[in-house]
Amino acid sequence: MFDPREKIALFIDGANLYAAAKSLGFDIDYRRLLQEFQSKGYLLRAYYYTALAEEQEYSSIRPLIDWLDYNGYTVVTKPTKEFVDASGRRKIKGNMDIELAVHVMEMAETIDHLVLFSGDGDFRSLVEAVQRKGRKVTVVSTLSTQPPMIADELRRQADHFVDLAQMRDKVGRDPSERAQRQAERVQTETFEDDFEEDEVL
């Protein structure tokens, strides 16, 4: 599927990958994800796309975005838009499909193999356009959920499909590890607070 001489670029639909991994019961370890594809060829670029609610003082995704930015990913964000639908319900919209598609088309001349982390059927035409330029396309999503998180037309169009469930051992992190890390962080902060108080005395 991968040739070690290939120039590879990753295009990660952040919300879609998060939903797929969550439905499979694990978290993505983004350091391991990068290493996995660096071992398959020349990883030219790894893009991560997500919308952010800018009005919020704290966003739970902000620490991840900052970490990705400092650790080999090109993070592309835009603010979410809030609107009221026809039935009067407040809705939040944050679609990054256009940004992702524009970057794919810009990079298509430079890369040999595009890896798209999304199951969104809207990307079928994009995949076809890149293939017409002679590029290989691998799509990563999952069929292992009910309903499947990948659109059938996208899976059919891709040169290769990789089920995220099969990548769990290589790029996954058990959610229980997060609780353990948070407990360790609290313990470290408590120790540091105690240490600082001792210095003041």
Q: What is the pLDDT of residues 36-79, one digit of tens each?
A: 999 999 999 999 999 887 766 667 788 999 999 999 999 999 88
Query: Which CATH number covers residue 169?
Result: 3.40.50.1010
Q: Which residues are registered as beta bridge partners of 47?
A: 11, 74
Count of the separate structural domains present in the chain:
1
What's the length of the chain? Answer: 201
- Let me know if residue 121 belongs to a domain: yes
- Let me know if residue 192 belongs to a domain: no
pLDDT grade for 89, boundaries at 50, 70 and 90: confident
Q: Which domain holds residue 95?
A: 7-173
- Let me know if residue 185 belongs to a domain: no
- Let me know if residue 155 belongs to a domain: yes
- Let me know if residue 91 belongs to a domain: yes
Judged by DSSP in three states, 95 sits in coil
Please tell me the distance from the alpha carbon of residue 195 to that of residue 201, in angstroms, as a whole number: 10
DSSP one-letter string for 130-177: HHHTT-EEEEEE-SSSSS-SS-HHHHHHSSEEEEGGGGHHHHEE-HHH
- Let me know if residue 45 belongs to a domain: yes
- Let me know if residue 131 belongs to a domain: yes
Q: Is the pTM of this model over 0.85?
A: no
pLDDT score, position 87: 83
Please tell me the distance from the alpha carbon of residue 106 to that of residue 110, in angstroms, as a whole number: 8
Q: Which residues are registered as beta bridge partners of 12?
A: 48, 117
Q: At 46, give phi and psi (nearest 5°).
A: -130, 110
